[in-house]
Structure 1
Amino acid sequence: MDGAEDNSLNIYKICRKIKRTDQSLYNALRSIYQDSLFVSEIRRLWPELPLMANLRCGLWYSQQFDDTCYFKSTDGHTGNWSFNPIRLNIHVATIAAEKGGCIIVDATRKGKRFPDSMSKTIPIWICVLNRAIQDFRRANLTKCSEALQSTCSEMSNVQDCQHQRMNYADGNAEPNLYQHRKAFVNKLDDWDCSLHLPLWVSDSEKANIESRIEGWTKILEATGTDLMFLAKSLRRPLRPLWISQKTVIWLNEVPDLDSWDFTPVILVSASSSMENTKRMSDDEYSWRYIPGAADDEESWARVLSPSLFWKHSFDLISGGPEACNKMVADIVERDRVYRAQRGQEALQIKLKLKKITTDVINHLEEGFNAEFQSVVNTEGRFFSVERTGKPDQHGIQQLPQGQFNLYWIGTTRLAISTSEYARLGDGSGQFDSILNCDTTSFLPRNGEDTFIHLPILGSKFDRFDLQNNLPSAVEFARKKLERGQTLLVCCSNGEDISVCICLAILMSLFDVKGTFDNGRSFGSTAVSKWDVRRQLVYICNFATNARPSRGNLRQVFNFLIRE
């Protein structure tokens, strides 16, 4: 009996060992690299279209993306379909309108051709936006018709009114408003607002989704999202197209963008749809292909980021399976030390290394000789960072351009960015004061009275830290805004805690129109969850990378209802 248990236990251990071998770090990175070649091929078909990564999985599949977006697969799960106004991704529609379309990259591990984010979440989003834009245009058309009717009724005689309706052929005469209205109505009737889903979605599921579209459209319109720019710039309705590794594309028949009567949102599923791993080999190494290898990066990446991977992709791939784990550990440690030297966020990582390698020691010596030079461009939107000395010879991670975004929230004199941006831009004149809620601080250049450091932990580490620090943050903002100063709110990534603090400031000190009133409207009305969501949507219209966590938003709401 004991022998049988030992045999079953041994078989169990063997199966686990085989699974760990198949899901190794090298196999994951090699699979990502293999799938990135397919993404590059698709991008070459439409080089004029911007390439966007659906966070976070999609960010691994190309060395260079033009932008990112955030569509969750859970919003497309069967029976759980949703349109979330907090994740509006309006910048995706704006970019598609300006460039004539866009390409979005994502992947899945579940043996499907496309993740639910592509098969349902994005098509739902597209349909809701198209209908909201059509409703906006119809509302404007109604206002124009009423104004035209009023103009005609005020005319002194019938002949003047008939004269207004005439169709003038010469360019010196006034345009015919009636003909213009008729053409605009015809264009509205041709605007495609139908729900486009892939063929593998069942008819019953499609019907269930369609029955909810109208309600989601009203939710979008009720948030106060500014649709005017999209209504003016989007000449053709958005429409999704799906491309996977099984899609057949005749290279001599690739359609031109102008030949389509819609604005394409091309959804590229980077990985193959096989359910199990597949043994593959090249001239040097044998490895197993993992579909959707980049999914759930916390379980396999060992803190390696997409940008770090692509900086060292050649060495990691050519180094082979045996050296991969140690190379990744060295790369991550170099980056951690590099960030720590400059006061950036550098989490302590437990590495299974007996000693620091010679490369790390050499990096420490050269790291002190590297200096940042911050340059503000003429538009005052982005910082570009250059480094004197030898760039990236020791695998130093340069911060991606996205970390230097500064988002001004309308005309509120509030801005959101990363703490690294604030550190580099302090003293540049872009903003008068800084509210830093990162766990690490820096010495202010404009004086202590223009700076406050509130080291706030996220809800995963402390469920009440943000709520406890919000009174100090709002009071600091009140003093600066009363003087007419601009205020930058920053955190480690510029996506979560800084957005929540800015939300609390707007709710506490501004009215519904975004005008600073020092809290008068806040004190006279009761705050509901819908009010908080509406104000968050207002912030997301400007800070396109805003992704506040649910736990932090709950702390903001609890703070507001207790004030």
Structure 2
Amino acid sequence: MEGSGSYPVSLSSLHFPLAAQSVSQTLSSLRRSALSVTNRLRSIETDATFVQEVADHYGLPLVANERCGSWYIPPEAKTGSAYFKSTDGHTGQWDFSFRRLNIQVLPIARQHGGCIIVDSTRRGKLMPDALSKTVPIWCAVLNRALFPSERTYHAVQFPPNFLGSSEESQIERRIDGFVKSLKDLKLDLGDLRQQLGNPIRVAWANRSYFHPTDLHKGEGYNLLVLCSASKRVHGAEISEGGYIQGAGDDSEGWAHGLIPPVFWANKSALFATAEDDLPGFIEELMGEYRQQTDGQQTHLILPTKNLFLSQRDPQLHDSGAYDLVIDCNGKPNTDDESPNRLDLGCGSLKLGSRDLRKSLDKVQAFVRSRLGADPSLKLLVTCESGKDLSAGTLLTILCLFYDDSGDFSTQKQGQAMNKQFIRQRLAWIMSSKPDANPSRSTLQSVNAFLMERPDY
């Protein structure tokens, strides 16, 4: 054949141009584009408009179910925070959290006749389990424990046509056990009743319905409106023109360190910034924010008069406002060791919890020596977050040295050192600092240290 020498003679000599990218790669690229930071922030802005409409409809203040809920509420419109976990509403795992008592919601509800608890959930769901089950469980427990004669409010209030009758009945059967466990904490139920004022009624607000349609705040009850901020999306984000359901969820994975107050303060500038430039711009904004918010708030742990909890802050430590400081993450300095300061040198996360277990003997000796000499001294306990290791350390101190009235004592109180007693003292911390969140590893370290001691 004429010119046949110019044709390939085998398959191996055939050269096909490589496709720019496969179909799956193209779809992945489109999905990443749809889930951009800008799309997330614009979706949050859209959902926040709905949340404000709910607030206007009911005439009630907004409370964020952290951490997701704060994205949907401008700081000036946010009255408080709650910490209801969706996992406590998961099927078969229904629970009333004794680590997250959410007592801070009670005075807000009393003052305003109720409040709106704001949360969201990811694609495909109408509302998170926190709003369909966890909060209704919490309301039923409080109604029964604080208002035993108000039987009208004792049943668990469920969203309409959402759960199966079997799941509802199984949840209902657990409530009395939760009530007993709450009473076993020995909190002042009379004081809690005074803080709340009236039993709780529950309503739901989402993009599909308001239920009950004619229920508003009124005399004789506090209305908790459980608001799911996002529009329900059944398909992929690509089909929604960039709208993302539950855009504020799991912000650690997409926000580059951005937090809600900084978003709301710089919303226009963020929207005007190119996607590729956003990480650097966010870093700048967060640096400015940290400079403006130097100095962390401390929390007095009631009913004590001298135990304080805070995120670590050198300025706070050196302010002279506290007589004694225990810094869980501070590096010990044997060359310049202050008799009124104890640095434990714990690491972060689970490593820090294990380090704490090895350091609690030092904490016990330090507190016995210093507060034993003068119980009126103010003691500040800090860690990186102000929520984990410091809370575990304070829990140890409360169990070892403080009686039921919150007074320092080195004498045994005739109380067995068991998990129930430790839980009672933990309730003091959670009531005084609702966002405290000692990890499971930290609590295991504290429990092991306390319950292995033959004499405390």
- Pick from 209, 223, 242: which aligns with 1:247? 209
Would the aligned equivalents of 2:312 and 2:385 in 1 still touch at CA under 8 Å?
yes
Query: Which of 289, 294, 299 matches 1:406?
Result: 299
Q: Decide which of 280, 297, 312 is 2:266's aligned counterpart.
A: 312
Q: Give the match for residue 435 of structure 2.
A: 545
Q: Secondary structure at the match of 1:289?
A: coil
The SS at the match of 2:96 is coil
Q: Tell me what 2:235 maps to.
A: 276
* Aligned residue number for residue 81 of structure 2: 68
Partner of 1:416: 309
Partner residue, 1:326:
277
Superposition deviation, residue 477 in structure 1:
2.0
Match of 1:257 among 189, 197, 217: 217
TM-score (norm 2): 0.85
Query: 1:517 and 2:416 equivalent?
Result: no
Q: Distance in 2 between matches of 1:425 and 1:16?
A: 49
Deviations 1:245-269 (A, max 9, x none): 233699xx986633x5421011111
Corresponding residue for residue 124 of structure 2: 111
Q: What's the secondary structure of 2:235's corresponding residue?
A: coil
Residue 400 and residue 131 in structure 1: after superposition, are their counterparts in 2 closer, same or farther (change >3 A)?
farther
- Cα shift at 1:108: 0.2
Q: Deviations over 1:360-406 (max 9, x none)?
A: xxxxxxxxxxxxxxxxxxxxxxxxxxxxxxxxxxx6664399x5242
The alpha-carbon deviation at position 239 of structure 1 amounts to 1.7
Q: Which residue of 1 aligns with 2:382?
A: 490
Give the alignment's Cα RMSD to 1 decimal: 3.2
Amino acid corresponding to residue 436 of structure 1 in structure 2: D
Tell me, in whole angstroms, the C-alpha distance in 2 between the residues paired with 1:204 and 1:8.
53
Q: Which secondary structure does the structure 1 equivalent of 2:22 belong to?
A: helix
- Find out whether 1:230 has 2:120 as its counterpart: no
- Cα distance per residue 1:139-193 (max 9 Å; x no partner): xxxxxxxxxxxxxxxxxxxxxxxxxxxxxxxxxxxxxxxxxxxxxxxxx356521
Alignment pair present for 1:28 and 2:28: no
Structure 1 position 279, deviation (Å): 6.1
> What SS does the aligned partner of 1:272 have?
coil
Give the direction of change, closer, same or farther, for the CA distance of 1:557–1:233 in structure 2 (3 Å limit).
closer
Partner residue in 2 for 1:196: 157
Instruction: Return the match for 1:97 from 110, 117, 130.
Output: 110
Shift of 1:418: 2.3
**Relative to 1, partners in 2 of residues 1:503 and 1:462: Cα closer, same or farther, differing over 3 Å?**
closer
Instruction: Give the conservation status (yes or no) of the 8 Å contact 1:54–1:106.
Output: yes
Q: 1:16 aligns with which of 28, 31, 34?
A: 28
Would the aligned equivalents of 2:113 and 2:222 in 1 still touch at CA under 8 Å?
A: yes
The Cα of 1:235 is off from its aligned counterpart by: 3.6
**With structure 1 as the length reference, what TM-score do the two structures score?**
0.70
**Are residues 1:435 and 2:329 paired?**
no
Residue type matched to 2:379 in 1? L
* Pairing of 1:201-212 with structure 2 (within 5 A): 201-212=163-174
- 5+ residue gaps, structure 1, are 136-187, 282-286, 339-394
- Secondary structure, counterpart of 2:23 in structure 1: helix
2:3 matched residue in structure 1: none
- Aligned 1:21-60 pairs, distance under 5 A: 21-47=33-59, 49-60=60-71
Identity percentage of aligned residues:
34
Distance change >3 Å, CA 441–CA 468, structure 1 → 2: closer
For structure 2, the 5+ residue unaligned runs are: 1-10
Alpha-carbon distance in structure 1 between the residues aligned to 2:291 and 2:163: 42
Q: Write out per-residue CA displacement over residues 487-515 of structure 1, whole angstroms, 9 at most, x where no aligned residue.
A: 11122332222111100111122345544
CA distance in 1, matches of 2:360, 2:145: 35
Q: CA deviation at 1:410?
A: 1.0
Deviation at 1:290, TM superposition (A): 0.4
Matched residue of 1:452: which SS? strand
Aligned length: 432
- Secondary structure of 1:80's partner? coil
Q: Is the 8 A contact 1:456 1:465 kept in 2?
A: yes
Q: 1:313 to 1:397 in 2, by over 3 A?
A: farther
Q: 2: distance between equivalents of 1:248 and 1:562?
A: 53
Does structure 2 retain, via aligned residues, the 8 Å contact 1:26–1:325? no
The answer to whether the Cα contact below 8 Å between 1:224 and 1:538 also exists between their aligned partners in 2 is no
SS at match of 2:99: helix
Are 1:480 and 1:486, in contact at CA under 8 Å, matched by a contact in 2? no
Quote the offset at 1:298 in angstroms. 2.0
Determine the C-alpha separation between the residues in 1 that align with 2:352 and 2:324.
27
